[in-house]
Amino acid sequence: MRKKTYLDNDEKLIAESLEKEEWVSDLTKKEKQKFEEYARYSLSKQKRINIRMTDRNLKKIRTKAIEEG
């Protein structure tokens, strides 16, 4: 279940404006490419983590992964 969010009038106006796509970027093409490259790099990083869990939970996760491909 999703938590309800409450917006005041100013926030509602901003949200409506965003939905209508009234906002325009003022970045140059070069700046935009630079930030896109930063985003691509940060998303492509692989991180090694350790998580302790029971065998039962690990089997459930593996089963779910196989089901979803």
Tens-digit pLDDT profile for residues 34-61: 999 998 888 877 788 899 999 999 999 9
Name the one residue in this structure whose structure tokens are 């302790």: 52
- Dihedral of alpha carbons 11, 17, 21, 26, sign: negative
Looking at every residue in the chain, the average pLDDT score rounds to: 88
How far, in Å, CA of 52 to CA of 56, rounded?
12
CB distance 11 to 19 below 8 Å = no
pLDDT range class, residue 3, cuts 50, 70, 90: low
pTM of structure:
0.38
Taking residues 30-35, report their average pLDDT: 93
What confidence score (pLDDT) does residue 36 get? 92
Q: Which stretches within 21-68 are classed as H helix?
A: 29-44, 55-68
d(CA 52, CA 2): 28
